[in-house]
């Protein structure tokens, strides 16, 4: 696979597809800025957001059902014509591994050169990912800065590192804010704020309306 620089110099370069994997519980502006910055610097034609199905590495915490996370990701990316959302990870049964994500995307898009995007925290864990040695051959890896985390290339010269505007936002903080009735406006896209409220996500069960036990009034 050519390096990113070689491809830039090639007038007939292949389609460049960014891959932004994440649990997106919920998707926030840190994710969107990361994808946008990598798309700009690496001249990507498209970025596909891939919500995880069963994130095995988050098995110690409760994760919101995949369909909610998928729909929030669709809402958040709808206004950008270069952003798309893939169901490959949520439609594949079992734990989610990036090796499967990249194999599936390569099969679906054999024309494309893949650029997998990770924040500094995810990059720091990458050597523990399934089949990591094969991973490097399936995509370019781009690590982006994230406040509170040190960005490293994990000893690989072919891993690209990119400084992006610091967005001190995490999904954990967004969930905690909603649970504490604090605002998430401007941390997540407006449509995601409304989706969270409509479906009462991240709200402690005792604050949710009880399930209807009688026939609805006409
Ligand atoms: N604020 C941010 N800046 C840069 N990268 C980010 C930021 N937030 C998340 N990322 C990256 O986006 C990808 C998906 O992250 P994820 O969906 O787990 O969000 P998160 O905010 O880390 O969630 P949680 O707080 O639930 O662990 C990861 O590669 C992560 O490093
Ligand atoms: O393949 C693995 O073993 C693996 C382990 C941890 C995380 N990942 C992927 O890394 C991406 C970001 O994960 P997360 O936990 O930060 O949302 C997402 O696409 C995950 O599927 C992949």
pLDDT exceeds cutoff 80 at 206: no
Residue 162 CB: number of other CB atoms within 10 A? 16
* CB distance 34 to 115 below 8 Å: no
pLDDT exceeds cutoff 90 at 55: no
Radius of gyration of the chain (CA): 18
pLDDT exceeds cutoff 70 at 109: yes
User: Which atom of ligand 2 lies at the shortest distance from residue 96's CA?
Assistant: 21
pLDDT tens digits for 173-190? 999 999 999 999 999 999
Is the ipTM higher than 0.85? The answer is: yes
- Of 218 and 67, more confident: 67
Residue that is written with structure tokens 């998707």 in the block:
27
Residue that is written with structure tokens 């026939």 in the block:
215
Instruction: Give the residues surrounding ligand 1 with Cβ less than 6 Å away.
Output: 22-25, 30-31, 34, 118-119, 121-122, 144, 146, 167, 169-172
Instruction: Give the residues surrounding ligand 2 with Cβ less than 6 Å away.
Output: 21-23, 50, 52, 55, 57-58, 96-99, 122, 129-130
pLDDT at 61: 84
Local confidence band at 11 (pLDDT 50, 70, 90 cut-offs): low
pLDDT exceeds cutoff 70 at 197: yes
In eight-state DSSP terms, residue 146 is B
Q: How far is CA 105 from the centre of its chain?
A: 15
pLDDT at 207: 64
Which contiguous run of DSSP H or E holds residue 82? none
- b/e string for 35-45 if b means 16 or more Cβ within 10 A? bbbbbeebebe
In eight-state DSSP terms, residue 47 is E
Burial class (CB in 10 A: 0-12, 13-18, 19+), 1: middle
pLDDT exceeds cutoff 80 at 4: no
Q: Which residues contact 59 (CB under 8 A, 6 or more apart)?
A: none
* CB distance 2 to 30 below 8 Å: no
Nearest C-alpha neighbor of 151 from the set 163, 141, 138: 163
Nearest C-alpha neighbor of 127 from the set 67, 57, 60: 57
Q: How far is the CA of 185 from the centre of ligand 2 (A)?
A: 26
What's the mean per-residue pLDDT of the chain? 91
pLDDT exceeds cutoff 70 at 46: yes
pLDDT exceeds cutoff 60 at 213: no
Portion of the chain with pLDDT greater than 70, in percent: 89
The pTM for the full model equals 0.92
pLDDT tens digits for 64-104? 999 999 999 999 999 999 999 999 999 999 999 999 999 99
* CB distance 203 to 178 below 8 Å: yes
Ligand nearest to the CA of 163: 1
Tokens for 39, please give them. 């798309």
For range 130-141, the mean pLDDT: 97
CA distances from 4 to 8, 28, 65, 117, 165 (A): 6, 27, 36, 14, 22
Local confidence band at 8 (pLDDT 50, 70, 90 cut-offs): very low
């Amino acid at each position: 696979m050519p390096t990113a620089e070689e491809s830039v110099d090639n007038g007939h370069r292949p389609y460049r597809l960014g891959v932004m994997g994440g649990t997106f519980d919920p998707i926030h502006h840190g994710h969107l800025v990361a994808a946008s910055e990598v798309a700009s610097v690496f001249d990507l034609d498209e970025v596909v957001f891939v919500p995880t199905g069963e994130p095995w590495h988050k098995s110690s915490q409760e994760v919101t059902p995949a369909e909610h996370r998928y729909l929030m990701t669709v809402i958040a990316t709808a206004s950008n014509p270069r952003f798309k959302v893939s169901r490959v990870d949520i439609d594949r049964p079992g734990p989610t591994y990036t090796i499967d994500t990249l194999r599936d995307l390569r099969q679906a898009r054999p024309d494309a050169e893949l650029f997998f995007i990770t924040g500094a925290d995810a990059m720091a864990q990458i050597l523990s990912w399934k089949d990591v040695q094969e991973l490097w051959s399936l995509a370019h890896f781009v690590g982006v800065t994230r406040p509170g985390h040190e960005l490293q290339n994990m000893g690989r010269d072919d891993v690209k590192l990119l400084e992006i505007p610091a967005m001190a936002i995490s999904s954990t903080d967004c969930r905690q804010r909603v649970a504490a009735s604090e605002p998430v406006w401007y941390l997540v896209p407006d449509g995601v704020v409304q989706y969270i409220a409509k479906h009462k996500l991240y709200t402690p069960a005792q604050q949710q309306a009880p399930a209807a036990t009688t026939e609805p009034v006409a």
